Amino acid sequence: MRLLHTMLRVGDMQRSIDFYTKVMGMTLLRTTDRPDQKYTLAFLGYGSNPEHAEIELTFNYGVDHYDLGTAYGHIAIGVQDAAATCAAVKASGGNVTREAGPVKGGNTVIAFIQDPDGYKIELIERDA
């Protein structure tokens, strides 16, 4: 078995594509528009399946906001330098919600950012 993608429902497709490509450095891999079913999909990532997991953004026509609920946690992305990544996110207009620093009770350096729809993304510092 292999993790293929994580789906997030978004309120503004272009705003979300801009965030994940311009702020997070992902590549827009493909899009699908299904007007008869009233939704659009965009797949983004740092590479495509099967070598890399992707993020699937889903925009349902006429829906511009979702309640995230209390069950959703976060997406995690490995980075070489969490502090530098936070600085780049801020410089691109992104929202850092926890600056880089050690995880409570450990030594791993983490940080958190938030996408335009409120989804949290954990940055975990690790070697390439």
Q: Which residues are catalytic?
A: 122
- In the block, residue with structure tokens 């030594």: 107
Write the DSSP assignment of 21-89 as a string of letters: IIIT--EEEEEEEETTTTEEEEEEESS-TTTS-EEEEEEETT------TTT---EEEEES-HHHHHHHH
Residues 22 and 109: their CA atoms lie apart, in Å, by 24
Tokens of residue 83, six digits? 């502090």
